[in-house]
Amino acid sequence: MTKTQSDITHLDFEFKKTYTTQVEVLVGVGAIKELPNAIARLKPDKVFVVCDTHIAELYLEDVKKLLADSYEVHGITHDPKESNKKLETVARISTEFFAHGGSTQSVICTLGGGVTANMVGLFASIAYRGVSLVNIPTTLMSQVDSAADVKHSVNSERIKNAIGSYKAPNLVLIDPNFLKSLSDRGLRAGVGEAVKHGISQDMEFVDFLLHADYSDSETLKQIAAKTISLKIEHWNRSNGTWNDTKLVRRLTHLGHVTGKIFEMIHLDHLTHGEAISHGMVIETYASHLMGNIDMESVEKIRSVLQQLDLLYPLDETYTIDTIMDRTYGESDPPLFALLTELGNPDVLSTEIPPEIYREAVSWYLSSRG
């Protein structure tokens, strides 16, 4: 029997998230010693520590020893590098988690950089629809950015962070002692995210970064604490709500449209901090072409990033046509976060016309020789 429109009953319901997570962030030299007490508050049946194979050699056994007297602790490792930040790696992590009896009461600890935090955070958000998550970042990039965040994602074949979810960690432990194993380039990669917050919120912080002693643990603690404080300040100004609306004025996106594309054009050629640094210069110049900001500010940003060794050389894969195709050829035109004034957090959230973006990319590539 054929039903007519009048035979259809329409029933609607409203979905709301029903809880707020208070995230505890501990920053300090030796903060890792707080891990046993922090884990105890979560009352786990088992603890899983996930890291890449390089970090496993450096720190995994020490972290497990901190917890071994009180809990059944399992280590799970994955291959390092951005090129392994994909669903297949998350699936392997999940296989080991369930094989060792992971349950709704288990706690998952990330031990490492942003690649680990993203993949494990994604898994923690979907395992049993959410299990407790503790982030222990071991790079400056992850200490100032991904560890104290709620976004978790992996890459598709062509798009960075294309598949993801939101989940707040229960705890973030930031200890500068972990940074001693980093190369100078690896350490400075994290400064890119700090500069991003400085140029949009606090130019005095930019001056601090230019003159900082990056070999001093107390200085690194100050950089992490200040960057996270600026991020929280921004979230509070934006009412702290995470939603799916298209127009979101988040200064945390500065340089990120271009930066993510640069990372995917040549995987593992640039650190995330270097990629978004290139992006901040290009996108701010585009903002200048649109009449939003003066050229002096563009040159100031470029000078700061050069002094901090964040404008790492681009190779021959970074052509105008490749960048334009990745930016405008995938789907809807992207929304950029654009500065209008140094130190002003009221960024514009807008599209950049393709012809202006092309001009900005051309200017940047030609100016780099």
Tell me if 137 is assigned to some domain: yes
Tell me if 12 is assigned to some domain: no
* Same domain as 265, residue 171: no
In terms of DSSP H, where are the helices of the chain? 35-42, 53-55, 61-68, 87-99, 114-126, 140-141, 184-189, 191-201, 203-210, 217-237, 256-265, 272-289, 295-307, 320-328, 354-367
* Same domain as 226, residue 172: no
At residue 12, the pLDDT reads 82
At residue 1, the pLDDT reads 45
Nearest Cα residue to 143 out of 241, 34, 67, 31: 31
Write out pLDDT tens, residues 6-43.
Answer: 688 878 877 766 567 788 999 999 999 999 999 999 99
CATH number at residue 193: 1.20.1090.10
* Same domain as 316, residue 201: yes
Using CA atoms, how far apart are residues 179 and 175, in angstroms rounded to an integer? 8
Position 242 pLDDT exceeds 50: no
* Same domain as 251, residue 281: yes
To the nearest whole percent, how much of the chain has pLDDT over 70?
A: 93
At residue 18, the pLDDT reads 56
* Same domain as 253, residue 286: yes
Average the pLDDT over 225-248 and give the result.
Answer: 72
Tell me if 294 is assigned to some domain: yes
Angle at 235 between CA 134 and CA 333, to 5 degrees: 100
Write out pLDDT tens, residues 307-344.
Answer: 999 999 999 999 999 999 999 986 788 999 999 999 99
* Same domain as 39, residue 164: yes
Tell me if 270 is assigned to some domain: yes
Domain count across the chain: 2
pTM of the model: 0.88
Position 2 pLDDT exceeds 70: no
* Same domain as 141, residue 77: yes
Position 243 pLDDT exceeds 60: no
* Same domain as 166, residue 100: yes
By residue range, what is the domain housing residue 156?
A: 24-182
Say how many residues make up the chain.
369
> Tokens 């050069």 correspond to what residue?
306
Nearest Cα residue to 250 out of 269, 265, 237, 267: 237
Write out pLDDT tens, residues 244-289.
Answer: 444 455 788 899 999 999 999 998 899 999 999 999 999 999 999 9
Query: In angstroms, what CA-CA distances link 5 with 8, 10, 12, 13, 322?
Result: 6, 10, 17, 20, 49
Residue that terminates a domain, selected from 182, 199, 227:
182
